[in-house]
Chains A and B, each alone.
Chain A
Amino acid sequence: MTEQPLSLRNLTKKFGGKIAVDDVSFDVKPGEIIGFLGPNGAGKTTTIRMALGLIKQDKGEVSLFGGDPGPRTFGRIAFLPEERGLYKKQTARETIAHMARLNGMKARDAFPLADRLLDKYGLGEAKRKKNKDMSKGMAQKVQLLAAIAHDPEFYVLDEPFSGLDPVNQQVLENMVREIAERGRTIIFSTHVMEHAERLCDRIILMSCGRVVFDGSIEDALAKAPRRLVIQSDDKKINTILEPFATSIEERSDGALTVFLKPEKEAFAIVEKCVKAKIRLTRFEPKNPSLHEAFVTMVGEDEAAKMHAGVFA
Chain B
Amino acid sequence: MIPQIDLRRTYLIARRDFLGYIKTWGFWISFLMPFVMFVAVFGFAQLNINIDPVRYETILDETGEHREGFLAYEKAGQRNIEWNLIEPILKANEKTDDEIKAYYELHQSKGMQPLYDAKITGIDPSIFDKLESRSRIIEPPSQDIEDLKSYLLGEKFLAIDGASQPLDALLHIYMEDGKIRSDYWTTNINNERLKNLSNRYFQSLLKEQYLQSGGLSSAGLSQTIGRAPRTKAFNPSKASSGDQDDQAVSDIDRIPYFVAGGGALLLWLTIFSGAYMLLTSMLEEKLNKLLEMMLSTTRLSEIMLGKLLGVAALTITAMLPYIVMAIGGSLLLSMLNAPGIAEALKAAVSLKLVIFFFVFLVIGYVFYGALFIAVGSLAESMQDAQTLTTPIVLVLTACVMVVPLSFRSPDSPLLDFAAWFPLSAPFAAIARIPEDPPWWELTLSAFLLFLMSILVVWLAGRIFRYGVLSGAGVKSVSTWIKRVIFRRKLEG
Contact = CB atoms under 8 A, between A and B. Distances in A.
A169 interface: no
Interface in A183-219: none
A98 B11 CA distance: 11
B24 interface: yes
B289 A99 contact: no
A86 B20 CA distance: 12
B288 A89 contact: no
B75 interface: no
A85 B295 contact: no
B291 to A, nearest CB: 9
A55 B290 contact: no
B290 A85 contact: yes
B367 to A, nearest CB: 27
B24 A89 contact: yes
B193 interface: no
Contacts of B296: 52, 54, 74, 77, 79, 156
Interface in A142-181: 143, 146-147, 156
Contacts of A85: 287-290
A84 interface: yes
Contacts of B4: 71
Interface in B21-55: 23-24
A88 B20 CA distance: 9
Nearest to B4: A71
B16 interface: yes
B23 A81 contact: no
Contacts, number: 68
Interface string A61-80: 00000000011001101011
A291 interface: no
A81 B293 contact: yes
Given A54-B469, A83-B292, A71 B20 contact: no
A70 B299 CA distance: 8
A305 interface: no
Interface string A84-99: 1111111000000011
A232 B465 CA distance: 65
A74 B287 contact: no
A86 B292 contact: no
A276 interface: no
A80 B296 CA distance: 9
Contact of A103 (B289, B290, B295, B297): B297
A74 B65 CA distance: 96
A102 B24 CA distance: 23
Nearest to A55: B469
B470 interface: yes
B292 A74 contact: no
Contacts of A70: 299
Contacts of B292: 49, 54, 79, 81, 83
A74 B4 CA distance: 14
Contact of B12 (A79, A87, A102, A143): A102
Contacts of A81: 289, 292-293
A17 to B, nearest CB: 12
Given A79-B292, A88-B288, A90-B20, A102 B470 contact: no
Which of B6, B290, B295 has the largest count of A CB atoms less than 10 A from its CB? Answer: B290
Majority secondary structure, B binding face: helix
B153 interface: no
Contact of B20 (A15, A87, A103): A87
Nearest to B295: A54
A90 B469 CA distance: 23
A101 B288 contact: no
A95 to B, nearest CB: 9
Contacts of A83: 289, 292
Contact of B293 (A71, A90, A99): A99
A71, A84, A102, A103: which has the most chain B beta carbons within 10 Å?
Answer: A102
B294 interface: yes
Contact of A101 (B12, B23, B295, B299): B12
B377 to A, nearest CB: 14
B298 interface: yes
B293 A79 contact: yes
Contacts of B284: 87-88
Contacts of A55: 465, 469-470
B299 A86 contact: no
B6 to A, nearest CB: 7
Interface in A102-118: 102-103
Contact of A84 (B20, B23, B289): B289
Contacts of B23: 89
B290 A86 contact: yes
B295 A87 contact: no
A213 to B, nearest CB: 27
A171 B20 CA distance: 31
Nearest to A89: B20
B156 interface: no
B12 A98 contact: yes
A98 B303 CA distance: 13
Nearest to A88: B288
Contacts of A15: 470
A147 B289 CA distance: 13
B107 interface: no
B288 A102 contact: no
B290 A87 contact: yes
B290 A71 contact: no
Looking at B6, B13, B296, B299, the one whose CB has the most chain A CB atoms below 10 A away is: B296
B476 to A, nearest CB: 9
B9 interface: yes
Contact of B469 (A49, A77, A146): A49
A297 to B, nearest CB: 29
B9 to A, nearest CB: 6
B28 to A, nearest CB: 14
Contacts of A74: 296-298
Nearest to A158: B292
Nearest to B6: A71
B19 to A, nearest CB: 9
A52 B291 CA distance: 13
Nearest to B303: A102
Interface of B: 4, 6, 9, 12-13, 16, 20, 23-24, 284, 287-290, 292-299, 465, 469-470
25 contacts: A15-B470, A49-B469, A52-B296, A54-B469, A71-B4, A74-B296, A77-B297, A79-B292, A79-B293, A79-B296, A79-B297, A81-B292, A81-B293, A83-B292, A84-B289, A85-B290, A86-B288, A86-B290, A87-B16, A89-B20, A89-B23, A89-B24, A99-B293, A102-B297, A143-B293
Q: Report, nearest first, the 9 A-B pairs whose CB atoms are least far apart.
A: A85-B289, A79-B296, A85-B288, A83-B289, A81-B292, A102-B297, A74-B297, A103-B297, A52-B296
